Structure formats: structure tokens, C-alpha cells
Amino acid sequence: MRLIIAEDSALFREGLSGLLEAAGHEVLAAVADATQAVEQTRALRPELVIFDVRMPPENTDDGARAAVTLRGEFLDILCRVRDGGSAFDPELVLEIMGAARQNQALESLTSREREVLALMAEGRTKIGITQRLWLTARTVETHVANTREDHRSD
């Protein structure tokens, strides 16, 4: 698991980092204050952030408030998934699309089918795709079905 540790006690922070890394997890950053935790989380996009509740800069509930700030971005993603969309890391989408360019089965797709597939990879819902491409829901369903049929022939 890719994670960030936000803890103002250097001894505890380093000990926890070592423990988690020994267990096979990747500690992307281990920071001493809430401001750094928010910055690093936005930059590195970990799967999990471990926050100390009381930490600098104010030594009150900075860690808890930082977690709430970041949680808003997380809830947006959950709502998108709940509504039928999906959530992919942008780097993964680029990797998929790069692999798609090399895959002959995907080359056989029409340009519109590739557009629909790319929007699906971005996490857009069927409704979002219809609005973006000015298509009917049935047309989007047809394009999606065509992309699936092409994958089965591999």
C-alpha cells in the first residue's frame, strides 16, 4: 500500500515508517506537520494517510482538520463511483491509453469508440459521456458493447 505518515514526533514517525516498510508498504512521505501532509497528499496521491490529530503548525487539531480537508476530495470520488462512474489514477489512464495504441484489437475500434473508451477510463458515467459527446445513451451503450466485443477476440 502507498501511504503518507503525518506525525510530529520524529521517533514515532520514523518507527512507524520502518514498521510499515518492513511489512511491504511504501511510505511515500513522513512529515511533521499538517500543512506538509496536505501538500504531500495532493502531490503524491497515496492510498492512505495516517494523521496525528494534534500536530503543528498550531498544535491543536491540525491533523484532524487536514484529514477533513483531504476527505472532501475523497468523497467526490466515492460519489462518482456510486453514480456508476469509476476512479482511475491519471497516470494509469495514460498507461492504458499508451498500451491501447499498441494493441491491434483496439486499433480496430472506430475513433468514436476510442473516444467513449477514453472517457470511461477518465471515470465518466454514461450520462457524462452522452453530454460530452452529444450522443444518446443507447449510442454510448452500443459503442461500449463494441469495445468489449473487440477485447474478446484477443
Q: What is the pLDDT of residues 50-76, one digit of tens each?
A: 888 888 888 877 777 787 777 767 667
pLDDT, the chain, mean: 79
Q: Domain extents for the chain?
A: 2-82, 90-152
Average pLDDT score over residue span 32-50: 90
Q: Identify the bridge partners of residue 6 per DSSP, sorted by sequence position.
A: 31, 51
Distance CA 16, CA 106 (A): 45
pLDDT above 50: residue 154? no
**DSSP 8-state secondary structure symbol assigned to residue 134:** T
CA angle 22, 87, 63 (to 5 degrees): 55
Q: Identify the bridge partners of residue 129 per DSSP, sorted by sequence position.
A: none
Q: Does residue 70 contact residue 49 with C-beta atoms inside 8 Å?
A: yes
What is the reported pLDDT for 126?
82
Q: How much is the CA Rg of the chain, to the nearest whole Å?
A: 21
Q: Does residue 117 contact residue 133 with C-beta atoms inside 8 Å?
A: no
Q: Identify the bridge partners of residue 48 per DSSP, sorted by sequence position.
A: 3
What class, spelled out in words, does domain 90-152 have in CATH? Answer: mainly alpha
- Which residues, in sequence order, are CB contacts of 27 under 8 Å at separation 6+? 3, 4, 5, 17, 20, 21
> What number does CATH give the domain 2-82?
3.40.50.2300
